[in-house]
Amino acid sequence: AQSVAQPEDQVNVAEGNPLTVKCTYSVSGNPYLFWYVQYPNRGLQFLLKYITGDNLVKGSYGFEAEFNKSQTSFHLKKPSALVSDSALYFCAVRDSNSGNTPLVFGKGTRLSVIA
């Protein structure tokens, strides 16, 4: 069965500093990986995905993520954090070898960017 781990409940970073939100996954086949962001009282918004190809994926709002197969990781990064990036971030995975399986989400990481 597929699973996702987001080891940090909370990440605090100063505005202008680089940020990293960690995600590791477990699937039996090849992973399809996604990052979503959730603002208060709003639905989840898609940030980026990795299906195949380049390991470095660029997404919305200046975010990027690096797929690392040997470490089974897909960490979310941004070179310079903004206060407006403060939100709840979710990593999700699907197993490409298991037919039409649903997304499995991590429990989320709350990012707080301090001015």
Question: Footprint of other proteins on this chain (CB under 8 A)?
Answer: 4, 32, 34, 36, 41-46, 49, 51, 90, 92, 100-108
In the bound state with other proteins, the residue whose beta carbon lies nearer, of 9 and 54, is 9
Q: Closest approach of Cβ 94 to other proteins, in Å?
A: 8
Q: Closest approach of Cβ 65 to other proteins, in Å?
A: 13
Is residue 79 classed as helix, strand or coil in its secondary structure?
A: coil
In the bound state with other proteins, the residue whose beta carbon lies nearer, of 44 and 82, is 44
Is residue 110 classed as helix, strand or coil in its secondary structure?
A: strand
Q: Closest approach of Cβ 39 to other proteins, in Å?
A: 10
Check residue 102 and report its DSSP letter.
Answer: P
In the bound state with other proteins, the residue whose beta carbon lies nearer, of 3 and 80, is 3
